[in-house]
Structure 1
Amino acid sequence: MTQPLALSGLEVAQGNLNGNYLTGNEWSTVLWTSDLGPCVAICGYNGDTAFLIHSDSTRASGIGATDLASGLQALIPGIGVDSGYALTLIGGSTAGTAAYLREHLAEAEIVDGGWADSAYITGDGRVAPTKRKLAEALGAESITIV
């Protein structure tokens, strides 16, 4: 039987300018968000940097009134220009957000992670829609985020 894991975590608030990132490939640190509803979590990883944005709109509206592409570029300068990011979308309108991102970040690989109310990404790029799924990905009985 596996043991429970305690991970260091940073909650990401809703809004295209409230994203956060991790560097250094640390599996024991996680970015997470909840209450996605119609919103979409954009979880990105390029082999060195993991990030998460909880986006309420692709347009210049919603919390912070900044479009998603500008929010991504503010968080990760140079994203979309041969940056090699894999982006996993989790939450509400993932299909519409995927179409928008393919238009603005043509170099990124985009994966539809489906509907969920929360999203998690570890510093080494493991993405999950629930703590239970994240525990499975880490080979743990359960996880807590502190």
Structure 2
Amino acid sequence: MPRETPMIDHLDHLVLTATDPEATTHFYTRVLGMRLETFGNGRVAFRFGNQKINLHVRGCEFEPKAHLPVPGALDLCFIASQPLEAVIAHLQRMSWPIVEGPVMRTGATGPIRSIYLRDPDLNLIEISEPAA
């Protein structure tokens, strides 16, 4: 029996709800190095690769929105474009604390080596590199 083609191909964007848009913008652009993008009616997103994170501010969310949009509820894993040691050194220069790692984990395509930190709303951010 032929296997069906999956209905979903990849993630285009996700929406992050924040309490302090300036602190969130600083974190995702200066600390993580994503590109700031403005679209629509002054909406803001953080672009990386072929994906982006759209920003909503708590209490001023765009419709339609999640049923219960709350800051601090996300657990995101990003694959770094550079060695994890370079990411760690950058975070140290930015005085941004690492809460755990490096540790070995299992990613979507295999083993990864990860560090964990938190964004200004306490979302858990995992930054990883493929493990050899």
Compare the two structures and name the one with the higher strand fraction. Answer: 2
Could you say which structure has the greater relative contact order, defined with CA pairs below 8 angstroms and 6 or more residues apart? 1
Larger radius of gyration, structure 1 or 2? 2
**Is the structural similarity TM-score above 0.5?**
no
Normalised to the residue count of structure 2, the TM-score between the two structures is 0.30
Normalised to the residue count of structure 1, the TM-score between the two structures is 0.28
